[in-house]
Structure 1
Amino acid sequence: MLGHVNALLLDNQVCFAVHAAARAMDGVYRRELAELGLTYPQYLVMLVLWERDQVTVKELGAALRLDSGTLSPLLKRLEAAGFVRRERSASDERSVLVRLTEQGTELRQAATRVPGRILEATGLELSEVLELSGTLTRMTRSLTQAVS
């Protein structure tokens, strides 16, 4: 562990390193996604839908770790843009399904270039990014459990 003298240095804070990296990553994503007409949170929604084609709002919230208050405005904007359609589930009126429209499905092709551009912008090799992603996923899981 860090000695008590160095423990409070900004450059020794993992939280700051993660925060600074996230802000820098946001900037690159903002530039890349502007061409698609998406924000980063909207892109995450689309990623889930490109994987699954149709999900409930509840499933989407769980996958993205977002509450319905955050998710609803995102979905409204994606629906207004013509990328998704929301409808009540026929089997459960309390459940709202989110589906891709044809335009949303077509957007996937244009989005295929984004991961490569992001990888290039990181300055890291694919193996390094995959390792970092795994480490961050484990850290997130541990931190989530620590506050539960």
Structure 2
Amino acid sequence: MTAVTDGDPQILPILADEDVVRARQLVRTLAVSAKLSLVDQTKLVTAASELARNTLVYGNGGHMEAATVRNERHAGVRLYFADEGPGIADLDLAMTDGYTSGSGLGLGLSGTRRLVDEFDIDTAPGAGTRITIIKWAR
């Protein structure tokens, strides 16, 4: 389903640990405004925390764009994380259940993907990483 953005996305640099905290706070605020259940709010904030931390640690910083969205049936929250870091050399391995580098929440990308309704990743060695996730209200 096509998601239509409600207004301009909010852009948040992710350059320090404090920015990861700010990202979580912004995502929680948007999740409440999109009327996500408490469980879905928690899932989205957890996914955002993992992706923001990955952006900082592995991507050498970047940014998050966050917006409420809607489609024909639901409201939701779309998050876009981008960095210009080294990219992911082995995406298949990185998406394997249980794979973690050891410094994140332990979810890995596959765990993060399970927490959201839509997950898209674009990465290549030397080209950075871009991840878009959406969590829809039920």
TM-score band by shorter chain is under 0.3
**Is the strand fraction higher in 1 or 2?**
2
Q: Flag the structure with more relative contact order, 1 or 2, with Cα contacts below 8 A and sequence separation at least 6.
A: 2
Based on CA coordinates, which of the two structures has the bigger radius of gyration?
1
**Is the helix fraction higher in 1 or 2?**
1
